[in-house]
Chains A and B, each alone.
Chain A
Amino acid sequence: MNVTPARIFVLWHPDYPIGAQIAQGIFDWFRTPDSHGIQVHYRSQPDPRRDDGLPPPMPLDRATLNLVVVLAEPKMVRDRLWRQWLSELAEENEIPRECRRAGSGSRPGFVKLYPVALHRTAYNLPGPIRALNFISPKGIGRGNDAEIEQDLAALLRNLQTRLTEAFARLLTQKLKEESSPKGLLGRMLEWFHSLAERASTMADEPPKVKVFLSHAKRDGTSVAKAIRDYIYQNTQLSAFFDENDIALGFKFAKVLDDSLEKDSVAMVSVNSDYYSSRPWCRREIQIFSKPRRNDQDIWEKPAVLVVQSMSGGHVAHAIPEFGNAPVLRWRADDEALCIDTLLRETIFRSYHSHVAWLIKNELASRDPRRNRVFINWAPDPLGLELVIRQWEQNQLHDWEQAVSAAKEAKQKRPPRPKLRPLDVIYPGPGMSTIELESLTERFPEVSLLSFNEARPMP
């Protein structure tokens, strides 16, 4: 089993009647149907292979970061065995006893517990858990199971929001410590890291990280404004909305480009009737969705969420730069879903960059001369085209520099690099055949390998 950047464990008492449904909701949010995203595991019923009455042990040394969600309600709170288990887990979360006892010798991953208060008695869990900041989803009331079950969708939505934000912070911070990938996502990691230290550094608080809201004014600003207002009222992000965000007297295009290339970590593209025909909007998406290489040599594309808000009856053009970006049809009051989806996509990209980095290190000793390009998004024709061309230019540029250096040192001229064969290694278990065939037809000289296909089995 390979080490992964992060894993989620959902813990609930086996007698809690809606625990499995909530766990399934968490699974479905963090793990897409085509097996993208973060692995989610369940811990509830006792392990039939053991006699301690507890769920199976969590293999904490298999992930850099173990995110443990505890669904706290009376059944769990009153169960002595669970209390003891959770106490131990909370007390020893940095160096779990389980791992030491197992004597595996491998370094246990970092463990972070997220108790979720699903009932007013949740806070009566033992001290070490009680000391943690609970997630309290809206709409729990007094925690009546029947009431919760009636509006389970609303509870799940709210829980997804809270967990996404919480995970984004920790995941990015911890993964940064592990591999420190720079680039756009690297900056997001730094920002999340800084959040934890905010209280003590209020005087020189770092600037907030921005979400770029790309929209066409001609179609009105209500959607973009609603999202912007949500960002300011409910999150710790900031938004680049329009020219009003540019200080007077500064060069318009320069500030805009800087915001797109350096300041913004993610983009919401409000795809309204005239969006695709506005040159500035096209320019924004074009600049923002260009692949960039981080300092670990992983090619990254920042997350874009397309919010579809066409009014109907108007014919517009599709935009190739959207690639495989998630698309959400706009509905009033869906601002939270927009930002959660964007944040989740950002988590996935960051996660994929980290997995790519792990695989790159694993493969470094095997056939090190093989050409490999690692990307952190599900490949699309335009993105792939750009990344391959940029990679080739970089290779030739490096070679030309080596040639000049050799000439100066009066050494033998290095051979021109061979640009093929080339493996492009992309996230997830693999594409559907139709996607794969379409890309293979377009790039016949390139081998497209999923992380799973590229990763050597132990």
Chain B
Amino acid sequence: MTVLRTAVDRESVEYTANRDALLAKIVELDVEQAHAVAGGGEKNVTRHHKRGKLLARERIELLLDPGSPFLEFSALAAWGSDFTVGASVITGIGVVNGVECMINASDPTIRGGASNPWTLKKVLRANEIALQNRLPVIGIVESGGADLPTQREIFVPGGRMFRDLTRLSAAGIPTIALVFGNSTAGGAYIPGMSDYVVMVKERAKVFLAGPPLVKMATGEESDDESLGGAEMHARQSGLADYFAADEQDAIRIGRQIVGRLNWRKQGPAPKPDPAPPLYDEQDLLGLIPSDLKVPFDPREVIARIVDGSEFDEFKPLYGSSLVTGWAQLHGYPIGILANARGVLFGQEAQKAAQFIQLANKSDTPLLFLQNTTGYMVGKEYEQSGIIKHGALMINAVSNSTVPHLTVTMGASYGAGNYGMCGRAYGPRFLFTWPNAKSSVMGPAQLAGVLSIVARQSAEGRGQPYDEEADVQMRAFVEAQIEEQSLAPAMSGMLYDDGIIDPRDTRTVLGIALSAIHNAPVKGASGYGVFRL
């Protein structure tokens, strides 16, 4: 085992400046997350409490084992859209009666908990995490159904929510619905498709059609309780398996159900008593340059997230712009690929492809620490086959079946995003640091490319090029791309699972790895044709 050394100088001007810059980003993140936590605002929250109801987050807190962590996903979902940040639903992994579960709770203080397109994306992502990692799903249901003005974007894809539930069930992953309020029309299929259903007395309302629609459809007079009350479903329809006296009772029953799942994690157990890193996580703030153009040594990051700061580097002298090696994190073995100087050359790509295959042979999960500007361009590199080399790496990443974790530490540009297991390559979890940026290329480069193309086009037509307009265009494009590449914008689109404080990286990855090991960890048996 090799213990990493550190060269971080806490007294340096850069350290202080970097730290200040990153802390400012973290404050911005906190402000955005506070919007999500605020839900439907003070008035709605007060009204909800006055009805004797717990808030969605209060329900989750009560459901979780005291002192256990909760890793919330997509807290900034819908950021930059017309919808409330957080998308009216909370999803995350929490421990219930000693079992890691995927919890999703609709927030009834925001438009009655109605689902908008972002809500749907967020819930479907949560279901995907549950299915891939074999996490029992607990739904805390109180939702007025679809947000009707956006039904066009919800109705058709929304069917997947119910398909997911029964597929989870078919895969042997239990699904539990705790119905606290409305769950009507399409929403009725959430309890309908769940393995276990708990309904709260005089609160749950589960029917296909409410009294007005029934009256219109058949002329029958009815009321909420007889159509879909908890007592009716517990005594007559049999849709409710458990009749809860009140909200806390529903949560008590939910915990009891999980306690009886006889849940066994299928992945290997972590090594006990892992040593913490030797170096302070606080240094992460000072060692990450505020300017993405300045490279940093990812070993300084690795030294602050892996057990005992121990890292056995693989092929250190070959393709040194990408660091690869073995470590352990919260007791779980991992292979790490980390960009060292941004650019990926042919050697780096080949090294990555080999390393990924080795990890698959030893069933070792992989961690990608992204800080890449993409694959090298230029005549020399094209001629020596940079496309083939990039393809090798992308082939290996795509067909690797060990779990992948990705953290975007800084830049994530171009095909580097793909090779380093960006969102489209299906990492089990992808988290972003607040300073990170991601786009097809750097904003300045993109604006410059547009400018060159426009200039060539003008010259081709024999027209004079408007230099003043060019300056304006470049500034506008650069600003727009810059804004779209920022972490909140990417996270708002659900291109990651959340923005995290860099100091939480070890904790977040620890929770993710533990969750991953609910499913078996097994390497790939085949890849696409490697173009050699």
Note whether A and B form a binding pair.
no
Interface set of A (CB-CB < 8 Å, partner B): none
Residue numbers of B with Cβ under 8 A of A are: none
